[in-house]
Amino acid sequence: MAELCIGLVLLNDSDYDSSDEYAREDEKERIENDKPRIGTGRVIPTKFIPPNPGRDTPQRLFAPGISAKDIPPPYEFIRRDGNRTQFLVYTDGACLSNGQPRPRAGCSFIFRPSSSEVRGNISFPSELEGPSGQQYAQTSNRAGLRAVLAALRFRW
């Protein structure tokens, strides 16, 4: 089952304050300019375990829909079974020249379907420094983890 879960983060939107003043349009700039920080432990993601392993996939369980809990109601990937407190986020990271001199890594996450009017993803280059201020080589693994952290910090 681990192969299916790579790049997927299951979040519970009750962990987020929908009255936050950050606008979604400003999120990309905020994520790019925000220094990484050591986690607070307030949001704990859980491993995705489908109700019927082997048959259920994230795409079958989560469909594009409107979550009526927030104002304005966001359009996102929500549970088909009526559980409107859960939604799906796709994450990924990649690194050019991984393991070689001068690697360049980037991250992305998809939080809703995109259309010509509304963007549903955020992408950005990986930082050179970790949350402690120490420099680390850019790698595909670090980029993937950074994408998950960015999705968890995103203001839904």
- Cα-Cα end-to-end distance for the chain: 28
Number of domains in the chain: 1
Say which amino acid occupies 129.
Answer: E
Q: From CA 119, how far away is CA 32, in angstroms rounded?
A: 17
Residue 27 included in any domain:
no
Rounded mean pLDDT, 121-128: 93
Per the confidence metrics, is the pTM higher than 0.85? no
Residue 124 included in any domain:
yes
Residue 77 included in any domain:
yes
Q: From CA 103, how far away is CA 52, in angstroms rounded?
A: 40
pLDDT at 69: 67
Rounded mean pLDDT, 134-143: 93
Phi and psi of 82, rounded to 5°?
95, -5
Residue 90 included in any domain:
yes
User: CB–CB of 69/18 below 8 Å?
Assistant: yes
DSSP 106: E
Residue 45 included in any domain:
no
User: When comparing pLDDT for 84 and 148, which is higher?
Assistant: 148
Residue 30 included in any domain:
no
Q: What is the CA radius of gyration of the chain?
A: 16
Residue 19 included in any domain:
no
Helix/strand/coil for 76: strand
The tokens for 130 are 């970790």
> Which domain range does residue 67 map to?
53-153
Residue 123 included in any domain:
yes
Percent above pLDDT 70 for the chain: 65
